[in-house]
Amino acid sequence: MKLVNKIKILRFNNNQITQEELARKMNVSRQTINAIENGKFNPSVKLALLIADYFKCKVEDIFYLTNEE
């Protein structure tokens, strides 16, 4: 199973904020946000919760599992 996310869509729908802007608000690097968006890095529970809080939605509305490998 693979963890996928909708961060890029949420960024676009939220005034088209950049990875850099989101990273600053989450206190992580832009590379971390990029790696999460591209499925190369799974965020910690804390970071996932912070991202969900920022976008005012539930974690499961952003992150979900797929059967893809």
Specify the pTM: 0.91
Query: What DSSP assignment string belongs to 9-68?
Result: HHHHHTTT--HHHHHHHHTS-HHHHHHHHTTSSPPPHHHHHHHHHHTTS-HHHHEEEES-
pLDDT at 40: 95
CB 39 within 8 A of CB 33: no
Q: What's the domain range around 55? A: 2-66
Residue 69 — pLDDT band, cuts 50, 70, 90?
A: low
What is the number of domains present in the chain? 1
Tens of pLDDT, residues 3-47: 999 999 999 999 999 999 999 999 999 999 999 999 999 999 999
Residue 27's CATH number:
1.10.260.40
